[in-house]
Amino acid sequence: MPFRKSKGLSRNTWIGITLGSLALLFLIAFWHEIMLVLARVITVLLALLAQELPEITLDMRRAINVVVFFNLIGGFFLMFQAWLLLTSAQALLPVAGFRDVARTAFHLVLYIFRRHGAAVFIKDGEIKATSEELRRSGRGVVVVDFNSAVVLEETVPTPSVMRVFENLADSVLVALGLADPYQNPRTMGTGIVFTRPRERIRAAVDLRSQFRLRPQNLSYSRDGIELRANVWTKFTIGQEPEVLQVTYLGDMRAENLRVVGLQAVDETHVRVASVGRADELDDADRAEIHHQTWVDLRRGQMSAYAPLPSTSLLPVFNAQRVFAAVFSEARNAQEEVIPWDELPTLVATDLYRRVVMETNYDEFYDIRTPDHFPLDDIKRKLRMQMRNNGILAYRLVLRAGGQPLLKADEKGEWVRGEVFSVFDLQTSAVRSLTAPKVLRDRGIKVIASGFGDLMPVSEGVYQQRLDHLLARWDRDTELIHARNELDALRIRGRARRQAQEELNVVLARILETREHTQEIMALRVFQAIDGMAADPKTRRFLPAETLDMINKLQSWLLPPQLPKA
| 3-class DSSP state of 377 | helix
Residue-number span of the structural domain to which 106 is assigned? 95-206
Residue 369 binned pLDDT confidence (cut-offs 50, 70, 90): low
Q: Is residue 30 part of a domain?
A: no
Q: Is residue 480 part of a domain?
A: yes
Distance in angstroms (rounded) separating the CA atoms of residues 303 and 305? 7
For residue 182, what are the contacts with CB-CB under 8 A and spacing of at least 6?
154, 170, 196
Structurally, the chain folds into a number of domains equal to 4
Same domain? 477 vs 433 = no
From start to end of 353-471, where are the E strands? 392-399, 419-421, 425-427, 431-432, 445-451, 455-456
**What are the percentages of helix, strand and coil residues in the chain, rounded to 5?**
45, 20, 30
Q: Which of 441, 457, 473 is the last residue of a domain?
A: 457
User: At residue 508, does pLDDT exceed 80?
Assistant: no
Q: Is residue 15 part of a domain?
A: no
Same domain? 468 vs 452 = no
Report pLDDT digits (tens) over 345-363. 999 999 999 999 988 887 8
Residues 444-471: b if buried by 16+ CB within 10 A, e if exposed: bbbbebbbeebebeeeebeeebeeeeee
Same domain? 315 vs 423 = yes
CB 380 within 8 A of CB 234: no
Q: Is residue 524 part of a domain?
A: yes
* Cα dihedral 348/354/355/361 (nearest 10): 120
Same domain? 468 vs 384 = no
Q: Is residue 29 part of a domain?
A: no
Same domain? 336 vs 441 = yes
Distance in angstroms (rounded) separating the CA atoms of residues 179 and 195? 8
Backbone phi, psi, residue 331, to 5°: -130, 145
Cα-to-chain-centroid distance, residue 329: 21
Q: Which of 141, 171, 206 is the last residue of a domain?
A: 206
User: At residue 518, does pLDDT exceed 70?
Assistant: no
Confidence (pLDDT) at 321: 94
Distance in angstroms (rounded) separating the CA atoms of residues 302 and 67? 78
CB 433 within 8 A of CB 392: yes
Q: Is residue 564 part of a domain?
A: no
Distance in angstroms (rounded) separating the CA atoms of residues 294 and 306? 21
For residue 314, what are the contacts with CB-CB under 8 A and spacing of at least 6?
146
Residue 9 binned pLDDT confidence (cut-offs 50, 70, 90): low
Burial class (CB in 10 A: 0-12, 13-18, 19+), 396: buried
Same domain? 327 vs 351 = yes
Q: Is residue 442 part of a domain?
A: yes
Query: How big is the chain by its Cα radius of gyration, in Å?
Result: 47
pTM of the model: 0.71
Same domain? 337 vs 442 = yes
Report pLDDT digits (tens) over 479-498. 888 888 888 878 777 777 77
Vertex 116 angle, CA 110 and 120, to 5°: 130
Confidence (pLDDT) at 323: 93
Q: Of 254, 322, 317, which Cα lies nearest the Cα of 289? A: 254
Q: Is residue 16 part of a domain?
A: no
Report pLDDT digits (tens) over 74-117. 666 777 777 777 777 776 777 777 788 888 888 888 888 888 88
User: At residue 401, does pLDDT exceed 70?
Assistant: yes
Same domain? 42 vs 107 = no
Same domain? 228 vs 294 = yes
Same domain? 304 vs 168 = no
Q: Which of 153, 172, 206 is the last residue of a domain?
A: 206
Same domain? 289 vs 406 = yes
Report pLDDT digits (tens) over 279-303. 889 999 999 999 999 999 999 888 9
User: At residue 308, does pLDDT exceed 70?
Assistant: yes
Same domain? 185 vs 276 = no
